[in-house]
């Protein structure tokens, strides 16, 4: 097959006429160009879901926005991350160094890497970090309590995951500032890969990646042979049926974990707090009923999560909404669109901190993806966010957002750059 015409774009008129291929188009949402309004991507997603729920884009990728279709893609059809030729979508030639992180792998590699790394992410291992997350959060809140004003990102949403991941990895306190800056810059590399970013950003991303690699190499060398129980040591010694992580795999999983887990958590805490402050009845409900925190964080994930989409490649033909999408096609699951599908959620545009109470049977959201690649850090992200949001809501009151619109960061994800607020301390 010629490379010039992707095989899933119809080359003759009859493909459209028989009803099995939709008219290709962006339909107002040129997602790959970051043309999404981060403040309110949901109206664009709603229009697409209503007009073109199974959308073939002009560049040959398909996009799904209905809950049932996203569920089917992530859970019930043969699919993975790579095309039959072994390349990732958008990749022209094999690059042996790139794509070793588990999220970019198919079985058997994915299965092996995930099994090895998941030893450090069991619910029990993560629960063990609860006292530290509480202590970090309360120290941060103590620092701003008297001031009555803070930046929810710089003073809480960023330092909670940054301090915790550094402590989990065993990065010494004096290096945590530079380590966090490299992680932030390296994460912006995802946006650069997708065609965004100027020369200065590219330069910063490259410097950060090289610095992180060098730093991790030193940390790993120092840990080898020592009997430590930090995350890196667990990855160094993780062994499954005689299999260990190779040096390149170890580095890729370590840096991949940072990139997957850092800005996403900042985004969840930041967007969650903004949404709560904008919905005064809901923040009041949470303050009066702190036991609602688990449900409230799930609703923050559904309603205003940091990741809008995830991608798969079909490994067999599959039918969605009456169309057959061919084997080897790239399919984008618009998880943020599915999370507000009225076919799956009552009153989906309403933010409701009680929605995920145990007896209510609300549909699960897709903000952590689904199927074999379901977010490995979900327990950790939930723990950090429940403690950060739960603590600030119980200690402080009368929040006012100083900016009407959120200032968004340079991340590929939906992550606020700053959220200045005023507040008062709640009476003890």
Which residues would be at the binding site for ligand HEM (CB under 6 A)? 74, 102-103, 114, 257, 260-261, 264-265, 268, 305-307, 310, 367-371, 373-377, 380-381
* Sign of the C-alpha dihedral computed for residues 60, 111, 244 and 116 taken in this order: positive
* SS3 assignment, position 399: strand
Nearer to ligand HEM, 24 or 369 (CB): 369
What is 331-348 written as a DSSP string?
Answer: EEE-HHHHTT-TTTSSST
Nearer to ligand HEM, 10 or 102 (CB): 102
Where are the alpha helices (H) located in 72-146, listed in sequence order? 109-118, 123-127, 130-145
Residue nearest to ligand HEM (CB): 377
Shortest distance, position 109 Cβ to ligand HEM, whole Å: 11
CA–chain centroid gap for 10, Å, is 33
* SS3 assignment, position 318: strand
Distance CA 125, CA 234 (A): 11
Nearer to ligand HEM, 10 or 293 (CB): 293
Q: Do the beta carbons of residue 348 and residue 78 sit within 8 Å?
A: no
How far, CA to CA in Å, does 16 sit from each of 9, 23, 329?
A: 10, 7, 17
Shortest distance, position 258 Cβ to ligand HEM, whole Å: 7
Nearer to ligand HEM, 9 or 87 (CB): 87
Residue from 309, 340, 313 nearest 32 by CA: 309
Shortest distance, position 74 Cβ to ligand HEM, whole Å: 6
Nearer to ligand HEM, 283 or 376 (CB): 376
Shortest distance, position 154 Cβ to ligand HEM, whole Å: 18
Please name the residue that has the structure tokens 């979900």.
378
Nearer to ligand HEM, 21 or 340 (CB): 340
Pairing of strands 416-418, 79-80: unpaired
DSSP 239: E
Shortest distance, position 212 Cβ to ligand HEM, whole Å: 15
Shortest distance, position 380 Cβ to ligand HEM, whole Å: 4
Nearer to ligand HEM, 273 or 423 (CB): 273
């Amino acid at each position: 097959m010629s490379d010039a015409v992707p095989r899933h774009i119809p080359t003759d008129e009859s493909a459209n006429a028989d009803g099995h291929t939709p008219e290709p188009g962006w339909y107002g949402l040129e997602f790959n160009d970051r043309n999404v309004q981060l403040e309110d991507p949901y109206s664009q997603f709603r229009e697409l879901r209503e007009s073109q729920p199974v959308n073939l884009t002009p560049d040959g990728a398909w996009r799904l926005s209905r809950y049932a279709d996203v569920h089917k893609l992530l859970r019930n059809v043969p699919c993975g991350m790579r095309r039959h030729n072994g390349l990732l979508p958008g990749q022209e030639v094999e690059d042996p160094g790139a794509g070793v992180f588990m999220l970019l792998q198919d079985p058997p590699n994915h299965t092996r890497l995930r099994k090895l790394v998941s030893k450090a992410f069991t619910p029990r291992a993560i629960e063990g970090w609860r006292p530290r997350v509480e202590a970090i959060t309360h120290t941060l809140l103590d620092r701003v309590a008297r001031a009555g004003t803070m930046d929810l990102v710089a003073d809480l949403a960023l330092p909670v995951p940054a301090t915790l991941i550094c402590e989990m990895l065993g990065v010494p306190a004096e290096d945590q500032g530079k380590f966090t800056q490299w992680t932030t810059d390296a994460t912006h590399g995802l946006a650069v890969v997708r065609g965004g970013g100027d020369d200065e950003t590219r330069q910063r991303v490259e410097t950060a990646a090289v610095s992180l690699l060098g730093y991790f190499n030193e940390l790993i060398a120092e840990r080898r042979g020592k009997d430590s129980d930090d995350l890196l040591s667990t990855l160094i010694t993780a062994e499954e049926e005689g299999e260990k992580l190779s040096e390149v795999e170890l580095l890729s999983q370590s840096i991949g974990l940072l990139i997957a887990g850092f800005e996403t958590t900042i985004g969840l805490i930041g967007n969650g707090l903004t949404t709560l402050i904008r919905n005064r009845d809901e923040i009041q409900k949470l303050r009066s009923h702190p036991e609602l925190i688990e449900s409230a964080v799930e609703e923050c994930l559904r309603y205003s999560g940091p990741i809008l989409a995830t991608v798969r490649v079909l490994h067999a033909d599959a039918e969605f909404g009456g169309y057959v999408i061919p084997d080897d096609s790239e399919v984008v699951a618009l998880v943020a669109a599915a999370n507000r599908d009225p076919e799956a959620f009552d009153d989906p545009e309403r933010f409701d901190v009680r929605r995920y109470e145990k007896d209510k049977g609300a549909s699960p959201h897709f903000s952590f993806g689904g199927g074999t690649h379901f977010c490995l850090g979900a327990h950790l992200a939930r723990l950090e966010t429940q403690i950060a949001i739960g603590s600030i809501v119980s200690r402080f009151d009368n929040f006012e957002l100083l900016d009407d619109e959120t200032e968004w960061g340079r991340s590929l994800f939906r992550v606020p750059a700053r959220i200045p607020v005023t507040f008062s301390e709640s009476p003890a």
